[in-house]
Structure 1
Amino acid sequence: MQACVGDGEKIETKPNIIYILADDLGYGELGAYGQQIIETPNIDILASEGMKFTQHYTGAPVCAPARCVLMTGQHTGHAHVRGNDEWRARGDVWNYQAMFDDPGLEGQRPIPDSIVTIAEILKSAGYKTGVVGKWGLGAPGTEGVPNQQGFDFFYGYNCQRQAHTYYPMHLWKNNERVLLNNKMVAPHSQLAEGADPDDPESYADFSLTDFAPDLMHEEALKFMEQNSDQSFFLYYASPVPHLPLQAPKRWVDHYTKKLGEEKPFTKGSYFPNQTPRATYAAMISYLDEQVGDVVKKLKELGIYENTLIIFTSDNGPTYTGGVDAAFFDSAKPFKSEYGWGKGFVHEGGIRVPMIASWANKIKPGSESHHISAFYDVLPTICDILDIPDPKNTDGISFLPALLGKPQRQHEYLYWEFPANTGQQAVRMANWKAIRKNLFEGEMDIALYDLEKDPREQDNVAAQHPEVVREMAAIMKKARTAPGTETFKMAALGDTEVEQ
């Protein structure tokens, strides 16, 4: 079987596909995207040998819905998961000891088995499928676990809350818990009373024995080795650089020397940290090092040239837990402070870096300004395999863009987010429309011209009423009411909304 693209050029079928998803990595936190402080040489090389996308978007401004959009090819107007939902009806889901004692309290609300995922498509096409890292789309024992959603292999965090420490008590391997050599230090613990914040020993509880990102990375490389003689799909959903601030000492020391003395982070969410800026930079360089390991392993196995690598992030940079997004200009050229980055549908929250590398297919050092989103990944994979898209996808294949061919464009991109006051957004050509405060019943639309105003500072809705009317119509037609009460918004006509 061969796939035809654009003018009839045939490409080899069944390339290996590795999709690396960083967690909370900002648009401006890679050297290839202008970062001046944090060193990312391996990802920068990936960009120089492949294609950098400048107008790629996540499916949502936070973890779970972004991953649901990616896996299902449906934007958040249709996706089953539209926000982070900890499924509190089960019990005390934020009690980490209780979760350890009862795995039924772990995890998030599951995606239904009836929804077709990328992994199921690839598995049916003969691929070996694996996910390593953070899942967040179905608690243990539910139909939403990776092994019920098309993945042959899973290793990592099932639960997003568990991923709030890089030294957990356990990880999951397929449907079995793997106990780690770490004591219970509940995420969001603080310094002991009376502890000296300038004494490294005060932070001993936050650097234990088994570092989960190391263990997961070993499993990712092993999965590649074990399946190098067949086509495989590896979804490498790294938890890095999501909080808490924890990184290998060698990288922290590197940035401590580079950045100099700084004030400890001791009061706030997540874990305390003596050198917060150095540790955050260390986390990203550590992730970059792992990307370099993946490429090196592909070359050692002799399969690099038949592997499509996509690197991106699930949403924009965070604003809490000791992260200094302003210092690193993490969402540059967009705003990254609270209200503009993670958790919000402004550009800093949803525009993400995306780099695609595929030897002899993608032109080295190329750049695409094609407007695309997470829900385009599924139809792109279907295009590579020359099979029909599922009927309910909202995406468009960007394979032509990867190969330098004429590319079909979206009429619009759509987001809704039932959190942080309730939000909607539409991207149509250079126009960006946003609604906020939907929980308060506000339906006003702010309109921005991203070509002239990428930081969304000048609301031009009053000058373009015809565009506002068109955006309002899209916001109405692009969605269906969610099936989960938690995600309903009364202002949009959803009924029986839980308050």
Structure 2
Amino acid sequence: MTRNILSLFLLVLIFSCETAVEQKPSKPNVILILADDLGFGEVGYQGQKKIKTPNIDALSKTGMVFTNHYSGAPVCAPARSVLLTGMHMGHSYIRGNDAMKERGDVWDYAKASADPNLEGQRNLPVDTETMSKMLQRAGYKTGIVGKWGLGAPLTEGIPNNLGFDYFYGYNCQRQAHNLYPTHLWENKEKVMLNNELVIPTTKLDAGSDPNDPASYAKYEQNDYAPDLMHEKALSFIQENKDEPFFLYYASPLPHVPLQIPGSDREGYIAELGTEDPYDGKKGYFPNQYPNATYAAMITKLDQQIGEIRAKLIELGLEENTMIIVTSDNGPTYTGGVDFDYFESSAPFTNGYGRTKGFVYEGGIRVPMLVSWPGTIKQSTSDHISVFYDIFPTLAELVGMPISEELDGKSFLPELLGKEQEKHEYLYWEFPETGGQQAVRMGNWKAVRQNIVKENNLDIELYDLSKDILEQNNIAAQHPDLIKKFEEIMAKEHEVPVVSTFRMAALGD
């Protein structure tokens, strides 16, 4: 009898242990790291030679690298809207960087620094469905650290109203044009920093020597925002280690201005050698060592990503955490950044009109890797994906239903080595920088430019399998394809709710 009871006890114990193994946490943590203006060619695993990104490169060897991944838009706010809502630019409420100038002198940096009523961008309506709200319903603690840009401080469009339990960083993209700002925001509170007000575009003092480091002292102060935000990101992970969490780490790096603590760039100054100072005439702050500073800003971002991973390892969370690293759009063309020197958008075309702000490949194709050790195998994927796919991917990951109105398709099967459904096409529109539309369908890429500026509806056509630089417009050779793209552009464009984003030539 005693032996039978002991045998039964052992069977129960064994079954309980097996069940415990099978029932490993079903809701992995998710860290979504969004760089700001990081070009496709600015990371080592994509071939960058001058800028060191050892931690990002190491992550690329633990997971899946996507070679055909796209932002939702070629600039900050709409890209972030597409990312969080899963709705492409033809359906998105936010379709541009709208400062809501009807509020007053919103472009006066000093006034906006003092008055929250002048800060921030056009806000997402409070009832907008977001991936963060979905993850909250799934039982996740949600946080955003970094740059918001989707709702001014005193509007309903703050992060805490759109699915985030915690927020620390820049509310306003314009305030992020100084990496030593006077303040940041923590949830609904304005947090003052130990920095004096220096207005972006402030030039060197008259008569100062551009080759004297002392001439640039006012651009490097005490509280460096990327460092402060990084500390909050690490704290968020530490504080939520015992429950599933979602951290949206929207870093302001490497978006200009060219600013970084001097000690962080010393190695690059020695390595890259003599260079001409940047005088600030093309916007943002002057800088004595523009190339060394820009490289150091990307390496700073890389270092912080390495520290995020180290924290996960320290807490035993690495194998239960999915890390996604990508960028909000292509690289900049201003502020002292030498995109040709760094080949920032390689293998695509560099420079104004082809990178940030435009729907050519250099403006919207961005680096992306997904790491989840023990679950995602090291590999390279040519699956064509886009920002509006990330919402449904995370929803499938945590077993949550999504609206049929979402434009994205989950790429979780691709991550897990299963059969992956493909998009028939991807769609973009952008009412700024002249007014633009674009569609990618297989290897075909259709582009419309100057829709607003010139009422142009002509479509350019490129075969990306042969013309990755998008230099050979073959529209005249394929009238049937052009007709198809015209139909897609008409179908996917809905009249924007916000009049600022309307394009009359499209019938708005």
Q: Which ranges in structure 2 are unaligned for 5 or more consecutive residues?
A: 1-21
Residue 150 of structure 2 is aligned to residue 133 of structure 1: no
Q: Tell me the CA shift for residue 97 of structure 1.
A: 2.1
Residue 358 of structure 1, aligned match among 352, 372, 378: 372
| Cα distance in structure 2, aligned partners of 1:153 and 1:242 | 23
> Is the CA contact (8 Å cut-off) linking 2:113 and 2:175 kept in structure 1?
no
In the alignment, which residue of structure 1 is the partner of 2:413?
400
Show structure 1 runs of 4+ deviating over 6 A. none
| Cα distance in structure 1, aligned partners of 2:432 and 2:460 | 18
Q: Tell me the CA shift for residue 134 of structure 1.
A: 0.1
In the alignment, which residue of structure 1 is the partner of 2:32?
19
| Cα distance in structure 2, aligned partners of 1:287 and 1:97 | 28
Q: Tell me the CA shift for residue 98 of structure 1.
A: 1.1
| Cα distance in structure 2, aligned partners of 1:50 and 1:197 | 45
Residue 233 of structure 1, aligned match among 246, 263, 268: 246
| Cα distance in structure 2, aligned partners of 1:462 and 1:89 | 44
Counterpart secondary structure, 2:176: helix
In the alignment, which residue of structure 2 is the partner of 1:52?
65
> Is the CA contact (8 Å cut-off) linking 1:27 and 1:353 kept in structure 2?
yes
- Residues 422-433 of structure 1 correspond to what in structure 2 (within 5 A)? 422-433=435-446
Residue 348 of structure 2 is aligned to residue 348 of structure 1: no
- Residues 324-343 of structure 1 correspond to what in structure 2 (within 5 A)? 324-343=338-357
| Cα distance in structure 2, aligned partners of 1:474 and 1:287 | 38
Counterpart secondary structure, 2:366: strand
In the alignment, which residue of structure 1 is the partner of 2:194?
181
Residue 388 of structure 1, aligned match among 401, 406, 424: 401
Counterpart secondary structure, 1:411: coil
Residue 335 of structure 2 is aligned to residue 321 of structure 1: yes
In the alignment, which residue of structure 1 is the partner of 2:293?
279
1:44-72: CA deviation from partner (whole Å, max 9, x where unpaired): 00001111000000000000000000000
Q: Which 10-residue stretch deviates more, 244-253 or 64-73?
A: 244-253
Counterpart secondary structure, 1:250: helix
In the alignment, which residue of structure 2 is the partner of 1:91?
104
1:270-294: CA deviation from partner (whole Å, max 9, x where unpaired): 0000010110000000000000000
Residue 497 of structure 2 is aligned to residue 483 of structure 1: yes
1:291-336: CA deviation from partner (whole Å, max 9, x where unpaired): 0000000000111100000000000000001000000000110012
Q: Tell me the CA shift for residue 256 of structure 1.
A: 0.7
In the alignment, which residue of structure 1 is the partner of 2:506?
492
Q: Tell me the CA shift for residue 11 of structure 1.
A: 9.0
Residue 63 of structure 2 is aligned to residue 73 of structure 1: no
Residue 293 of structure 1, aligned match among 307, 311, 325: 307
Letter in 2 for 1:409: K
Q: Which 10-residue stretch deviates more, 435-444 or 185-194?
A: 185-194
Letter in 2 for 1:395: G
Q: Tell me the CA shift for residue 10 of structure 1.
A: 11
Q: Tell me the CA shift for residue 391 of structure 1.
A: 2.6
Residue 455 of structure 2, aligned match among 441, 446, 450: 441
1:351-403: CA deviation from partner (whole Å, max 9, x where unpaired): 00001000111102x00100000000000011111222123210000001111
Letter in 2 for 1:412: Y
Residue 204 of structure 2, aligned match among 167, 181, 191: 191
In the alignment, which residue of structure 2 is the partner of 1:160?
173
Counterpart secondary structure, 1:370: strand
> Is the CA contact (8 Å cut-off) linking 1:248 and 1:282 kept in structure 2?
no
Letter in 1 for 2:293: T
| Cα distance in structure 1, aligned partners of 2:262 and 2:216 | 13
| Cα distance in structure 1, aligned partners of 2:112 and 2:86 | 31
Counterpart secondary structure, 2:241: coil
> Is the CA contact (8 Å cut-off) linking 1:336 and 1:349 kept in structure 2?
no
In the alignment, which residue of structure 2 is the partner of 1:111?
124
CA gap of 1:10–1:473, structure 2 versus 1, over 3 A, is farther
| Cα distance in structure 2, aligned partners of 1:461 and 1:101 | 52
CA gap of 1:303–1:10, structure 2 versus 1, over 3 A, is closer
Letter in 2 for 1:71: L
Counterpart secondary structure, 2:50: coil
| Cα distance in structure 2, aligned partners of 1:388 and 1:411 | 22
1:175-230: CA deviation from partner (whole Å, max 9, x where unpaired): 00000000010112111112111111110110000000000000000000000000
| Cα distance in structure 2, aligned partners of 1:197 and 1:42 | 34
In the alignment, which residue of structure 2 is the partner of 1:369?
382
CA gap of 1:379–1:56, structure 2 versus 1, over 3 A, is same
| Cα distance in structure 2, aligned partners of 1:476 and 1:167 | 44
Provide the TM-score with structure 2 as the length reference: 0.94
> Is the CA contact (8 Å cut-off) linking 1:182 and 1:208 kept in structure 2?
yes
| Cα distance in structure 1, aligned partners of 2:263 and 2:208 | 24
- Residues 453-472 of structure 1 correspond to what in structure 2 (within 5 A)? 453-472=467-486
1:111-148: CA deviation from partner (whole Å, max 9, x where unpaired): 01121001100001110000000000000121110000
> Is the CA contact (8 Å cut-off) linking 2:147 and 2:251 kept in structure 1?
yes
Letter in 2 for 1:314: D
Letter in 2 for 1:88: K
Counterpart secondary structure, 1:438: coil
Residue 326 of structure 2, aligned match among 308, 312, 315: 312
Q: Tell me the CA shift for residue 101 of structure 1.
A: 2.3
Letter in 2 for 1:196: D
Identity of aligned residues (%): 60
1:5-24: CA deviation from partner (whole Å, max 9, x where unpaired): xxxx9995210000000000
> Is the CA contact (8 Å cut-off) linking 1:265 and 1:274 kept in structure 2?
yes
> Is the CA contact (8 Å cut-off) linking 2:354 and 2:363 kept in structure 1?
yes
> Is the CA contact (8 Å cut-off) linking 2:333 and 2:352 kept in structure 1?
yes
| Cα distance in structure 2, aligned partners of 1:287 and 1:169 | 22
Q: Which ranges in structure 1 are unaligned for 5 or more consecutive residues?
A: 1-8, 495-499
| Cα distance in structure 1, aligned partners of 2:501 and 2:437 | 13
Q: Tell me the CA shift for residue 250 of structure 1.
A: 2.5
> Is the CA contact (8 Å cut-off) linking 2:85 and 2:128 kept in structure 1?
yes
Letter in 2 for 1:275: Y
| Cα distance in structure 1, aligned partners of 2:169 and 2:114 | 18
| Cα distance in structure 1, aligned partners of 2:289 and 2:110 | 28
| Cα distance in structure 1, aligned partners of 2:389 and 2:376 | 18
| Cα distance in structure 2, aligned partners of 1:95 and 1:437 | 29
